Structure 1
Amino acid sequence: MTRHERNPIGNGPGKVGEAMLRHRTLSADGLSERLFRILFSGLVYPQIWEDPEVDMEAMDLAPGHRIVTIGSGGCNMLAYLSRSPARIDVVDLNRHHVALNRLKLAAFRHLPGHDDVLRHFIGHNLRGNVQAYDRFVAPHLDPETRAYWNRRGLTARRRITMFNGNIYRKGLLGRFIGTGHAIARLHGVKLKDITAARTIEEQERFFETRVAPLFDKPAIRWATSRKSSLFGLGIPPQQFDELAGASGDGTVGPVLKERLRRLACGFPLESNYFAWQAFARRYPAPGEGPLPAYLRPDYYAAIKASASRVSVHHESVTDLLARRPAASVDRYCLLDAQDWMTTRQLNALWREITRTAAPGARVIFRTAAEASILPERLDPGLINRWHYRQDESRAFTARDRSAIYGGFHLYERLDA
């Protein structure tokens, strides 16, 4: 699961992951929480794992809308720009995601054309990407973001050089997927071979004969019983407990297998770039399948024209909304951040959402489990101000090509 802005009521930098610190430091749960916080403090998601086409339809995005969204990898925020909103406020407590969002926006605004954007975000082994960054993008970045991408690591290379290679193999999630491929190879399975399938039936056959049996291997059963083994997916201890409880055997193996089956077989490969990233560790080449929405050529002009309307904030949703006037936001995208929240944090967030929501405002979010978490945890005075569009939520869940969530949820503000 993703991810992104995990402390909804934090007060600024350094707060990533504090929402999950619910146990004593030296307890088993406390150590698990703190290990996750350490891992989550770096770059986690070079690519976002929510389907922007589903998002935009569910939010019914239209020109002039004012949007607040969690950032993560920035792909969805850019896709939303194709609808010419009046304003987007992007928030994230992870400074690496903040820097990535700002870089992507600057690339659309200042690289010469669509082909240059494509080379920067999907080109592999292209030294020219860094040269293009230095010439066209870096001069337009704020000093903090420019310093971030120019910083040199242990290899003495600047961070920006990751765009010379396959950036989607970087970050916590990229390394986790790479580890999964390595484990599969140890068991004689090359996951990328599924890309040779030409029909859904061939995809299903590959999954059932090659991938599904991996979940019966003792080592994998052991791994899926441990919270730390899934930190690379962005699954914190709280979400692990929910998934393990749903599986019935104390592990997340059955749940993961079913969601991986849906990723592998739920949609034709030629229509699902999420499956390509999971199984081939790259986006499809021309003729193999689609690219993410924000890289589509027919979206490029609108995104470039609207990119200046985005502000990226290194803070929480709740803190941002607390500064916004009443009735000043039309659409909210919370990703799966609420799964991480305490009841107090959840209610604090929704008090600000309800206050700042314009008439007819919509909120979308995803959950690890199937059901919405709001009915049991949100104060009646808040939830009664919102209509849960349950049937549509189920339909959007079924259409979400990332296939890794239990539920997609759409709420609409009830006019007073």
Structure 2
Amino acid sequence: MSITDTASGSSIGHRIDTAVVRSSRLSREGMLEHLFSAAFRGLVYPQIWEDPVVDMEALALKPTDDVIAIASGSCNVMSYLTADPASITAVDLSPAHVALGRLKIAAARHLPDQKSFENFFRHGNLKSNTRLYDRYLRDRLDSQTRAYWDGRDALGRRRITRFTRGFHQAGLLGRFIGAAHLVAKLYGVDPRELLNATSIEEQRAFFETRIAPIFDSRSFRHLTSLKASLFGLGIPPAQYEALAGDEAGNMTRALKIRTERLACGFDLRENYFAWQAFGRGYGPGAAASLPPYLRRDCFETVRRNAPRLTIENESLTELLRNKPDGSLDAYVLLDAQDWMTGLQLSELWAQITRTARPGARVIYRTAAAPSPLPGKVPDAILDRWAYRAEENARLTRQDRSAIYGGFHLHVLGEL
């Protein structure tokens, strides 16, 4: 079902509730889950936080491959176009994410040149972007996507003007990062100063002397003990529990470890995720680290292959129910399985296994290190998939976003 087929806001809310809500509405957990569901109905991720370079290494995409993926901010699926697969079908429960992905597809196809595309999605803060939208994109969008970007925010501004005011600072995640910068400044730290470091050693010194003490403060520990405080990271209550575990203080330690790796696990010149977190945008200059789809040398490939990408407003399991047996080669689940019950996981993997061709690959990430599948998905299904433990450990280390505990790859039909 496409966004143009979506019936109403209530049906959208029901889909997201189904994905997120596990507890009674009257319980404390249920109220938190419904609060997260409400927050997730708008734009959450202006940029996705999974490294598409790692994804493409794991998936080893071929020109004959048909891919299914969760879209989120769609940086991933747009980047997969550089690997030249036969088709990519992306899904997302958020109409805002679907509208963003469809805007990117239209922009790759119809903007006049690479510079216009770069201005729109790399910079996202130029007055000329609304003129580009009105001249080249608006009339080439489906009616629902056009209605979304022409629609008004709470202040009466067209949503498309987010691309003139700093798109990377928009959405739930963009506002969360802004709030984190404000909190840091209350402790006397400007996170942007990290970006002045000229070596990993300088990055580490800044983290240890300026950022780490914030995590060690009593007030910060109290703040992160509140599950709702991390909704801006797209972490629902169930995923909070997976990341924090049962011991008090685990969440603060987990966040500190992930932030340390983001701040000093990779050279800043090679890690656009660090620039997004500490600089609230991509780095300057022609040599800046960027997602593959925004690289100048990839633009013509992305433009040529953009018609192969479609984005649907649907759950992954429901979309797969309508796919023929043995019709797909690659599946990208992001971290969605952290949200799922055992029944939901079993239904999803039954559909994945039915629709997979021999040698198909499935990748996903998890907040904690272990895979959530053993003990929840029937052995009769899991035993058909080889789990690449050593490769997964290596790819987890390579993931520049640094915020996940584990990267996981399964391959169908290997012994």
Q: TM-score, structure 2 length as denominator?
A: 0.95
CA distance in 2, matches of 1:361, 1:94: 27
SS in 2 for 1:360: strand
CA distance in 2, matches of 1:54, 1:357: 21
Alignment of 1:320-335 (within 5 A): 320-335=319-334
Write out per-residue CA displacement over residues 340-383 of structure 1, whole angstroms, 9 at most, x where no aligned residue: 00000000000000000011000000000101111221101100
Q: By how many angstroms is 1:123 displaced?
A: 2.5
CA distance in 1, matches of 2:328, 2:414: 14
CA distance in 1, matches of 2:74, 2:240: 25
- The answer as to whether partners of 2:88 and 2:310 remain within 8 angstroms in 1 is yes
Residue 269 of structure 2 corresponds to which residue in structure 1?
Answer: 270
CA distance in 2, matches of 1:212, 1:101: 36
1:284 aligns with 2:283: yes
CA distance in 2, matches of 1:17, 1:98: 18
Alignment of 1:78-117 (within 5 A): 78-117=78-117
Residue 7 of structure 2 corresponds to which residue in structure 1?
Answer: none
Residue 353 of structure 1 corresponds to which residue in structure 2?
Answer: 352
CA distance in 2, matches of 1:296, 1:329: 28
Alpha carbons of structure 1 residues 334 and 39: separation in structure 2 relative to 1, 3 Å: same
- The answer as to whether partners of 2:16 and 2:37 remain within 8 angstroms in 1 is yes
Counterpart residue type for residue 306 of structure 1: N
CA distance in 1, matches of 2:124, 2:361: 38
Residue 8 of structure 1 corresponds to which residue in structure 2?
Answer: none
Write out per-residue CA displacement over residues 258-306 of structure 1, whole angstroms, 9 at most, x where no aligned residue: 0000000000000000000000111000166311111011211111111
Stretch of structure 1 that moved more, 398-407 or 161-170: 161-170
CA distance in 1, matches of 2:237, 2:266: 30
- The answer as to whether partners of 1:120 and 1:163 remain within 8 angstroms in 2 is yes
- The answer as to whether partners of 1:122 and 1:166 remain within 8 angstroms in 2 is no
Task: Tell me the C-alpha RMSD between the 2 structures.
Answer: 1.4
Greater relative contact order, per chain length (Cα 8 Å cut-off, separation 6+): 1
Q: By how many angstroms is 1:250 displaced?
A: 4.3
CA distance in 2, matches of 1:222, 1:93: 32
Residue 404 of structure 2 corresponds to which residue in structure 1?
Answer: 405
Q: TM-score, structure 1 length as denominator?
A: 0.95
CA distance in 2, matches of 1:346, 1:125: 40
SS in 2 for 1:398: helix
CA distance in 1, matches of 2:265, 2:351: 37
Q: By how many angstroms is 1:122 displaced?
A: 2.3
- The answer as to whether partners of 1:330 and 1:361 remain within 8 angstroms in 2 is yes
CA distance in 1, matches of 2:170, 2:231: 15
How many percent of aligned residue pairs carry the same amino acid?
51
SS in 2 for 1:285: coil
* Structure 1 residue runs without a partner (length 5+): 1-10
CA distance in 2, matches of 1:197, 1:415: 45
Write out per-residue CA displacement over residues 98-156 of structure 1, whole angstroms, 9 at most, x where no aligned residue: 00000000000000111110001123542110101111111110011001100122322
Stretch of structure 1 that moved more, 253-262 or 152-161: 152-161
Write out per-residue CA displacement over residues 35-90 of structure 1, whole angstroms, 9 at most, x where no aligned residue: 11111111000100000000000000121210000000000101101111111111
Residue 243 of structure 1 corresponds to which residue in structure 2?
Answer: 243
1:225 aligns with 2:230: no
Residue 257 of structure 1 corresponds to which residue in structure 2?
Answer: 256
- The answer as to whether partners of 2:82 and 2:298 remain within 8 angstroms in 1 is yes
CA distance in 2, matches of 1:288, 1:86: 30
Q: By how many angstroms is 1:219 displaced?
A: 1.6
- The answer as to whether partners of 1:370 and 1:407 remain within 8 angstroms in 2 is yes
1:164 aligns with 2:172: no
Alignment of 1:171-250 (within 5 A): 171-245=171-245, 248-250=247-249
CA distance in 2, matches of 1:259, 1:200: 16
Write out per-residue CA displacement over residues 17-40 of structure 1, whole angstroms, 9 at most, x where no aligned residue: 423322221211111111111111
- The answer as to whether partners of 1:149 and 1:159 remain within 8 angstroms in 2 is yes
Residue 37 of structure 1 corresponds to which residue in structure 2?
Answer: 37
> Which 4+ residue blocks in structure 1 deviate beyond 6 angstroms?
none
Counterpart residue type for residue 41 of structure 1: R
CA distance in 2, matches of 1:17, 1:253: 27
CA distance in 2, matches of 1:188, 1:296: 35
Residue 298 of structure 1 corresponds to which residue in structure 2?
Answer: 297
